[in-house]
Amino acid sequence: MTAVRTYALIAMFLPVADRFRGLFHESGSMVSVDIVAQDVFDGGWADGIQSTGVPYGIADVDWCDTFLSPEPPVGLDETADIDICPLSPQGSESGFGISLQGMDVLSISKNREFAFSYDVRGVETQYADSLMLRFLYEQINDGKVPARLPKWRESLVRMLSEGTPGTDFDTVYRMLLQGFPGPSDEMRVDRLAKWLECVESPKKRGDVFRGETRYWINAGIYDKAVEAADRMQEAYPEYAIRACRLRALAYASAGELALARVEISKARSHSLPCGERLELLYLEAWISLQDNDIELAERNLRTILKEAPNGNMNRKARHVLDSLEGTR
């Protein structure tokens, strides 16, 4: 007999549209409905379902695409009980404080009024956790939640370390930095580093060092970027290849192409995993373009296309090659 999995569709504390007002009880109790579970993940909601005798037009709602990566959880039941209830604020300083009633968010509607979640079991936890992080990222990025609140620090570090889908690495680091007071970027970076020593794992600290290096590169302060990469490599020797790549990027951005190529050579002296090798090829191609070495750049980019027939690196390499073709 197939067990029934429980899902929940939760209304957030934002104003609820009129079409939903008759659906919820004053007490905030849940309303049960039935739906095909796989449709939840495919985005193929039914045109209408019944909830406690009240017709409920799912098709009228602007649902977002699910944010599951890379694939929806397997082994879903053919049918599931979905519970719908209002999601109440917790009265936090920021106005962001939502009650998930013991459950985790799985997806969020485009208008941010609703989210649906389910009772997490086993491997599916990673998907719910990822969605919670993405939700926080969007709330901060939209200005609905102040990044400076200390309670967000650990979640932001997780975004950096885990590469949460739908988040931008450099943006997350800037959000994290906002949580540390100080009259200058240097002081905030220093306070962030001191906090990390006390609360986070070495891997996560290494990822934050990477964020600092990229922060200085984006700010055009390349000497500080190189210093940050040096500190990262000294503290975490396992990040030596990444430190070389970041120094190469900093030097190349500063116009020091010879020094950038030295860092590329240093990185190649290590045993390179496939992903690191492709990243290095792409970086070297970019440096070669700055040096007007089109032949080497194209050779590296075509190597990436051959070794990575799919994925982000393939798309990046193909985009640059197409741009080069368009200039001829």
Is 214 inside a domain boundary? no
Angle between helix 274-290 and 240-253 (nearest 10): 10
The predicted pLDDT at position 114 comes to: 39
What distance in Å separates the CA atoms of residue 41 and residue 71, rounded to the nearest whole number?
9
Angle between helical axes of 185-199 and 169-178 (0-180°, round to 10): 90
Q: Pick the more confident residue, 95 or 220.
A: 220
**236 pLDDT more than 50:** yes
- Does 63 reside within a domain? yes
Whether residue 325 lies inside any domain: the answer is no
In the predicted model, what is the mean pLDDT of residues 296-314? 90
What pLDDT was estimated at residue 293?
94
Cα distance between residue 325 and residue 320, in whole Å: 9
What is residue 274's predicted lDDT score, i.e. its pLDDT?
85
pLDDT at 132: 67
HEC string of the chain equals CCCCEEEEEEECCCCCCHHHCCCCCCCCCCEEEEECHHHHHHCCCCCCEEECCEEECHHHCCCCCCCCCCCCCCCCCCCEEEEEEECCECCCCCCCCECCCCCEEEEECCCCCEEEEECCCHHHHHHHHHHHHHHHHHHHHCCCCCCCCHHHHHHHHHHHHHCCCCCCHHHHHHHHHHCCCCCCHHHHHHHHHHHHHHHCCHHHHHHHHHHHHHHHHHHCCHHHHHHHHHHHHHHCHHHHHHHHHHHHHHHHHCCCHHHHHHHHHHHHCCCCCHHHHHHHHHHHHHHHHHCCCHHHHHHHHHHHHHHCCCCHHHHHHHHHHHHHHHCC
Q: Nearest 5°: phi and psi at 226?
A: -65, -40
**More confident position, 251 or 93:** 251
Q: Answer with the residue of higher pLDDT: 146 or 228.
A: 228
Strand order in the sheet with 5-11: 54-56, 49-51, 31-35, 80-86, 5-11, 114-118, 104-108
* Number of independent structural domains in the chain: 1
Residue 233 within a domain: no
- Check residue 55 and give its pLDDT: 32
Instruction: Give the strand pairing for 31-35 and 54-56.
Output: unpaired
> pLDDT digit string (tens) for 175-226?
999 989 888 999 999 999 888 877 657 677 788 888 999 999 999 999 999 9
Dist CA 134 CA 113 (whole Å):
15
Please tell me which residue, 227 or 78, carries the higher pLDDT value. Answer: 227
User: Which residues are registered as beta bridge partners of 84?
Assistant: 9, 31
Rounded Cα distance between 135 and 156, Å, is 12
| pTM metric for this prediction | 0.61
In the block, tokens 């995993």 appear at 273
Residue 85 pairs in a beta bridge with 10
The C-alpha atoms of residue 279 and residue 97 are separated, in whole angstroms, by 39
Interatomic CA distance for residues 327 and 95, integer angstroms: 51
Question: Does residue 63 have a pLDDT over 80?
Answer: no
- What is the chain's mean pLDDT, rounded? 67
* CA proximity to 27, closest of 96, 91, 82, 86: 86
223 inside domain? no
Is residue 108, in this structure, part of any structural domain at all?
yes
Q: Encode pLDDT of 259-270 as tens digits.
A: 999 999 999 998
Whether pLDDT at 4 is above 60: no
Q: What percent of the chain has pLDDT over 90?
A: 31
Does any domain span residue 33? yes
- Higher pLDDT residue, 39 or 265? 265
Q: State the residue range of the domain holding 20.
A: 5-124
Q: Which of 21 and 117 is assigned the larger pLDDT? A: 117
Cis omega (within 30 of 0) for bond into 70: yes
Examine residue 29 and state whether it is found in any structural domain, yes or no: yes
Q: Which of 158, 168, 114, 180 is nearest to 138 (CA)?
A: 168
